[in-house]
A and B are shown apart, each in its own frame.
Chain A
């Protein structure tokens, strides 16, 4: 179980994440939503241990993650928002390197990489340098790297970005399958339709503050709104979207 208790993060006095608390349980897919700049990726980076919270605690299975960060990282898989990879390495070389960095046994890891690349239709391009890869191909490399060590906690920051329809569908089923096998899945996305289909539970962030933490069904009932999109618009979208689009159209014509 992943638990955030009153986690806040400030950058030079600017509050990026403010007093966020929620729990992501095994077998459950937790959707982490919010507009751009609401603090989603900052929270993800704090959960991965890339940055430290200014205050509050992050616990995994009841233990603060910083108590044994190494053991925690061994059990965590992470797909970052931006596909930053080493462009001079081939997809295969990158994944082998990740396996070595994670201290995984070479032979089973090689077989696992080979199998995953085949299933994700990347096997034919495994020797090409990553600099040649499309965004979707890079995303597949990131996904393989995140799952290579069979993690118990899976953090997915915009995992559908750039993926083709078929791989997107595979990923959607995969997330459900992994959760069904008892993994903790925290999943951040702007694709509300996908989140609504996949997640059992959502946390909505707005300007760094948590504005909702509940199951989608309960939110629908509580707010008397039929879709997650409308719930999200109510909680986290302040602007009149139609008026803004009209203003933009007027502005470019002027």
Chain B
């Protein structure tokens, strides 16, 4: 009985790591799981191929050592980032929630079975993530990383070291986030739910910042330098890198390695114990709190904020979109993922600026107070990330079955609805980034250059918003969502090309800011592009077949051509 219950609950919890509310009636969890797994596999295979192109016989030993050490650290840090992002994305599924308690409590299931199934599902999800991410790299790179002259036993040891380090790193980051959530869950339930959203966002930002901003210390010189020891003690990815070398016996004569290895094991033990304690607390305390929570929580009078955004339909659609985005945690997390990509690219660009400052020997802030390409490109990157992210979350429904109200109250034509559904993208994406950029740039740059850049930025935002809205015939958050329509693997290639385009554009703009004629030409081109993009989007909306969409449909795999034998009239 208990075994059957465990298996059923384990499966249920594992599949619920992905938010099922996002899926339409035609969507399937296995397809969505497959999509995520294939993305990780693609990433792993791409990196794995790199090992074949490395001709270790032709590279000098010192250089090979540097390549190896940096690659090892990169793979460990990336595993930690991906596992961390996964833990943040599945935040709501990690501990038993109100729904679990209310649905399962009346059934004869021991709380222990419920918890064990939950822990097993989490462990399986962690294993799948680390495994899928390293399935390619974990086969090819250990052949490069193994110490020279150790033969087959050395290779086996290297494989063991690689996988132990990866699973230890993944477990540490996953358990650490569980500890944070478990501790926050001890607060009064309502406070916890509010704090939870901020913790998720903070976790997201911290993971990305550490990943992109941590200095490269994977060199013999940096490792030996006394001034780096404090830094090494604070950066978890280096602890697990030390663990890898300690097991692999590939960095002899480096006393820091033993220290890092000890730190890694201690960190894993502390995080695992902390996660265990968090689960026990949840077992003994949180479940009772959830059950005792009143069904109807009295709400304080909310802020009566309802500005107008055009006519009453526009206002209704914009306010609905704003409220949904502010109150729906799953939409906010998905948006944060895209903003995180934008943020990471900005950090990457700003890092280049800092390195330039370091190279020139100027003090911090000197270059940033001059109009510079990285900051110009950064505002455009953030604008793009917001627009794309918001447009993507708009396509994901919230309480799909409640969309009948938009259909029953459709007392205006389709065009009015499509016009109203375009407005939230401008209100939620273009306007905030534009205003934020203005506030930042006016505080550091000359006002004339800022005004000129804001015109360009506004036009860029308008073009991108209209391009993203082309063919979008939905009221935000009201249409069903079919996963797998866009090939995710190509998105990464697209991001790289797009970043190059933006940096090229920022270079052009930097030159144009010094030449009024070039600037005027640039603004004219962008304005024409914005008008064309707007006209194209509106023309599509005005076409005869356009109607507000509430159900997403896949393009049929098999197209009916309607061919008939000669002379036979189809019935």
Chain A residues within CB distance 8 Å of chain B: 48-50, 69-70, 73-74, 76, 78, 80, 82, 84-90, 93, 96-104, 106, 125, 127-129, 132-134, 137, 145
Chain B residues in 8 Å Cβ range of A102:
409, 411
From A73, A129, A145, B299 is in contact (CB under 8 Å) with A129
Instruction: Tell me the bound Cα distance from A11 to B406 in angstroms.
Output: 23
From A87, A101, A104, A125, B296 is in contact (CB under 8 Å) with A125
Chain B residues in 8 Å Cβ range of A49:
407-408
Chain B residues within CB distance 8 Å of chain A: 295-302, 306, 311-313, 315-316, 319-320, 323-324, 327-328, 398-399, 401-402, 404-413
Chain B residues in 8 Å Cβ range of A82:
401
Q: Across the interface, do B411 and A73 meet the contact criterion of CB distance under 8 Å?
A: yes
10 further A-B contacts with Cβ under 8 Å, apart from A86-B324, A97-B316, A101-B406, are A73-B410, A80-B404, A84-B404, A85-B405, A86-B320, A88-B324, A88-B328, A89-B323, A103-B311, A125-B296
Closest 9 CB pairs of A and B: A100-B316, A101-B409, A88-B327, A128-B299, A84-B401, A100-B312, A84-B402, A127-B299, A132-B296
- A134 touching B295 in the complex, CB below 8 Å, given contacts A86-B399, A101-B405: yes
From A70, A87, A90, A97, B411 is in contact (CB under 8 Å) with A70
- A103 touching B327 in the complex, CB below 8 Å, given contacts A84-B402, A127-B302, A132-B297: no
* 18 intermolecular pairs with C-beta atoms under 8 Å apart: A50-B408, A69-B410, A70-B411, A70-B412, A70-B413, A85-B402, A86-B402, A87-B402, A88-B398, A88-B399, A90-B299, A93-B323, A99-B312, A100-B313, A100-B315, A101-B405, A102-B411, A137-B296
Chain B residues in 8 Å Cβ range of A73:
408-411
Chain A residues in 8 Å Cβ range of B410:
69-70, 73, 101
Q: Across the interface, do B398 and A103 meet the contact criterion of CB distance under 8 Å?
A: no
Instruction: Tell me the bound Cα distance from A52 to B63 in angstroms.
Output: 71
B7 nearest CB across to chain A (Å): 26
Which residue of chain A is the closest to B300 with respect to CB atoms?
A127
B104 nearest CB across to chain A (Å): 20
B479 nearest CB across to chain A (Å): 14
B276 nearest CB across to chain A (Å): 32
Q: Across the interface, do A134 and B398 meet the contact criterion of CB distance under 8 Å?
A: no
B351 nearest CB across to chain A (Å): 38
Chain B residues in 8 Å Cβ range of A80:
404
Chain A residues in 8 Å Cβ range of B401:
82, 84
- A128 touching B298 in the complex, CB below 8 Å, given contacts A73-B410, A100-B315, A106-B312: yes
Instruction: Tell me the bound Cα distance from A73 to B316 in angstroms.
Output: 18
Instruction: Tell me the bound Cα distance from A76 to B300 in angstroms.
Output: 34
A102 nearest CB across to chain B (Å): 5
Q: Across the interface, do A74 and B295 meet the contact criterion of CB distance under 8 Å?
A: no
Q: Across the interface, do B407 and A50 meet the contact criterion of CB distance under 8 Å?
A: yes
Which residue of chain B is the closest to A89 with respect to CB atoms?
B323
Of A88, A102, A129, A145, most buried by chain B (CB within 10 Å of CB) is A88
Instruction: Tell me the bound Cα distance from A48 to B411 in angstroms.
Output: 12
A78 nearest CB across to chain B (Å): 5
Of A69, A128, A133, most buried by chain B (CB within 10 Å of CB) is A128
Q: Across the interface, do A101 and B316 meet the contact criterion of CB distance under 8 Å?
A: yes
Instruction: Tell me the bound Cα distance from A179 to B297 in angstroms.
Output: 37
Which residue of chain B is the closest to A87 with respect to CB atoms?
B399
Instruction: Tell me the bound Cα distance from A102 to B416 in angstroms.
Output: 12
A13 nearest CB across to chain B (Å): 16
- A125 touching B411 in the complex, CB below 8 Å, given contacts A87-B399, A88-B327, A88-B398: no
B328 nearest CB across to chain A (Å): 6
Q: Across the interface, do A78 and B408 meet the contact criterion of CB distance under 8 Å?
A: yes
Which residue of chain B is the closest to A129 with respect to CB atoms?
B299
Which residue of chain B is the closest to A142 with respect to CB atoms?
B405
Q: Across the interface, do A134 and B328 meet the contact criterion of CB distance under 8 Å?
A: no
B334 nearest CB across to chain A (Å): 15
- A127 touching B297 in the complex, CB below 8 Å, given contacts A50-B404, A97-B319, A101-B411: no
Which residue of chain B is the closest to A146 with respect to CB atoms?
B408
Which residue of chain A is the closest to B303 with respect to CB atoms?
A127
Q: Across the interface, do A103 and B408 meet the contact criterion of CB distance under 8 Å?
A: no
A98 nearest CB across to chain B (Å): 6
Instruction: Tell me the bound Cα distance from A244 to B567 in angstroms.
Output: 58
Instruction: Tell me the bound Cα distance from A132 to B408 in angstroms.
Output: 24
Chain B residues in 8 Å Cβ range of A93:
319, 323
Chain A residues in 8 Å Cβ range of B405:
85-86, 97-98, 101, 145
A183 nearest CB across to chain B (Å): 17
Instruction: Tell me the bound Cα distance from A69 to B512 in angstroms.
Output: 53
Chain B residues in 8 Å Cβ range of A85:
399, 402, 405
A130 nearest CB across to chain B (Å): 9
- A101 touching B313 in the complex, CB below 8 Å, given contacts A84-B399, A86-B402, A132-B295: yes
A54 nearest CB across to chain B (Å): 18
Instruction: Tell me the bound Cα distance from A90 to B313 in angstroms.
Output: 19
Which residue of chain B is the closest to A73 with respect to CB atoms?
B411
Q: Across the interface, do B313 and A103 meet the contact criterion of CB distance under 8 Å?
A: yes
Which residue of chain B is the closest to A50 with respect to CB atoms?
B407
Q: Across the interface, do A86 and B398 meet the contact criterion of CB distance under 8 Å?
A: yes
Chain A residues in 8 Å Cβ range of B402:
84-87
Instruction: Tell me the bound Cα distance from A88 to B406 in angstroms.
Output: 16
Chain A residues in 8 Å Cβ range of B411:
70, 73-74, 101-103
Chain A residues in 8 Å Cβ range of B413:
70
